[in-house]
Amino acid sequence: MTEFFFTGKAIAMKVRWAQKIDSLSESMTVAISDRARELQQKGVPVVNLGSGDPDFDTPTHIVEAAGEAIKRGLTHYVASRGVPELRRAIAAKFQRDNRIAYDPDTEIIATAGGKLALYIALAAMVEPGDEILIFDPAWVSYEPMIRMLDGVPVDVPLRPDDNFMLDPDALRSRITPRTKAMIVNSPNNPTGRVLTQEELALVAEAAQDHGIWVLSDEIYEHIIYDQRQHISLAALPGMRDLTVTINGMSKAYAMTGWRLGYLAAPAPLCGQILKVQQHVVTCAPSFVQAAGVAALNGPQDCVAAMVAEYDRRRRFITEALNTLPGVHCPAPEGAFYLFPRVTYRGMDSNALARFMIEEAHVAVTPGAAFGRAGAQNIRLTFATSMENLRQAAELLRAAMS
């Protein structure tokens, strides 16, 4: 349905909204959490493992920096790229953590969340009919963003039987003269995979051989386990000028509600993206940027402490899930999601998610929301307390046995 009727001054008139938005589904990660909150408000004790939002408070020194900025009067518009202190802090972070040199004056934009960073980067790139490669499964918002910009999302199926490894043939076979960009996400939401050197090399080779932009979503960069190393795609030889790196404060610093993200891109492209930023949001919130400076320049032990706790939870919940009937759950290598394959009473992922929230009172996201490859999976987050995880495991066991 793309129209509805209303009665104007004298005649009944028909108004329309956009067909392309009508055909989008809601963000399933967001919708499931909304549903869980709704049930909780009605007094149903739902354990919400739906959307990935750290349960930790934002570290105090970050909160205080924002408070001080407000008191100082940093409550107006600021530079559209972001305040210079924040852009310098972001450039220093790229140098320190990723060994990439970016010019803070021309190659970095701070924006209102990683989501918006992705969207404005895509908006600066995508022309109608351009094909954008996304790996299947992938985070729920890539495909709708591409569609909203009249691009064509093209799935590159990962290998579900091989822990969602990248299949070089699948990647090569999806590249056409219309391929404009690909979106890569490591550590990955939903699979928890961290791309290996070999997989990153395949991406880099495809990008350079065919002149394809890479949007590298590295928002889970710091949430990584078992001494694995995060390698930034732009750090690979020849990739700096073909890559837009997307990152943000939400996950590493438990700052989801602050809405602060950033991107780094080669100067000419960054200038194009900046125009989109100026027209859609002007700038990221001013005093929140002061909090961002405190997060990036301040002590990083708060991040390490949160990651250590995620790791403890990861071990517990992976083991617990693997004891449930029909559940096969590989241990995630990064991020804070589990993406088990579930074979239970012939249910697909949508039926499973419905069963789990309605019968077990555990909110999970159906794997199908992340693409065809997730049709038999569910996604659970362990960015919640150990107590919630213990309770979820018990509730699932009781409902499934």
Judged by the rule CB under 6 A, the positions of this chain that interact with ligand GLU are 27, 29-30, 51-52, 139-141, 189
Q: How far is the CB of 48 from ligand GLU (least distance, A)?
A: 11
Q: Where does this chain touch ligand PMP (CB under 6 A) — which range of 61-69, 110-118, 231-239, 282-290?
A: 110-118
CB contact at 8 A, 108 and 268: no
Could you tell which of ligand GLU, ligand PMP, none binds residue 140, using a CB distance below 5 to 8 A set by kind? ligand GLU
Could you tell which of ligand PMP, ligand GLU, none binds residue 27, using a CB distance below 5 to 8 A set by kind? ligand GLU
In whole angstroms, how far apart are CA 351 and each of 48, 80, 136, 344, 393? Answer: 17, 45, 20, 10, 19
Output 102 or 119, the one with its CB closest to ligand PMP.
119
Torsion of CA 232, 234, 238, 240, to 10 degrees: -160
CA atoms within 13 A on the CB side of 249: 30
Could you tell which of ligand GLU, ligand PMP, none binds residue 376, using a CB distance below 5 to 8 A set by kind? none
> What backbone torsions phi and psi does residue 316 show, to the nearest 5 degrees?
-60, -50
Q: Beta strands 213-217 and 179-185: pairing type? A: parallel
Q: How far is the CB of 256 from ligand PMP (least distance, A)?
A: 5
Could you tell which of ligand PMP, ligand GLU, none binds residue 30, using a CB distance below 5 to 8 A set by kind? ligand GLU
> What backbone torsions phi and psi does residue 93 show, to the nearest 5 degrees?
-65, -45
What does DSSP assign to residue 183? E
CB contact at 8 A, 342 and 376: yes
String of contacts with ligand PMP for each residue 208-237, x by CB under 6 A: ---------x-x------------------
Output 207 or 255, the one with its CB closest to ligand GLU.
255
- The number of residues that bind ligand PMP (CB under 6 A) is 13
Output 261 or 332, the one with its CB closest to ligand PMP.
261
Output 286 or 381, the one with its CB closest to ligand PMP.
381
Output 192 or 261, the one with its CB closest to ligand PMP.
261
Q: Where does this chain touch ligand PMP (CB under 6 A) — which range of 111-119, 196-204, 351-359, 370-378?
A: 111-119
Query: 267-280 and 114-123 are packed helices; what angle lies between their axes, rounded to 10 degrees?
Result: 110
Q: Beta strands 341-342 and 243-248: pairing type? A: unpaired
User: What SS3 state is found at 187?
Assistant: coil
- Residue from 94, 139, 164, 225 touching ligand PMP (CB under 6 A): that is 139
Tokens of 81: 């790229």
Residues 256-285 close enough to bind ligand PMP by CB under 6 A: 256, 261
Output 52 or 261, the one with its CB closest to ligand GLU.
52
Cis amide prior to 137 (ω within 30 degrees): yes
What does DSSP assign to residue 342? E
Q: CA-CA distance, 92 to 213, in Å (whole number)?
A: 24
What does DSSP assign to residue 160? G
- Residue from 81, 87, 93, 115 touching ligand PMP (CB under 6 A): that is 115
Could you tell which of ligand GLU, ligand PMP, none binds residue 58, using a CB distance below 5 to 8 A set by kind? none
User: What SS3 state is found at 98?
Assistant: helix
Output 58 or 256, the one with its CB closest to ligand PMP.
256
Q: How far is the CB of 108 from ligand GLU (least distance, A)?
A: 22
Which residues of the shown chain bind ligand PMP in the complex (CB under 6 A)? 52, 113-115, 139, 185, 189, 217, 219, 248, 250, 256, 261
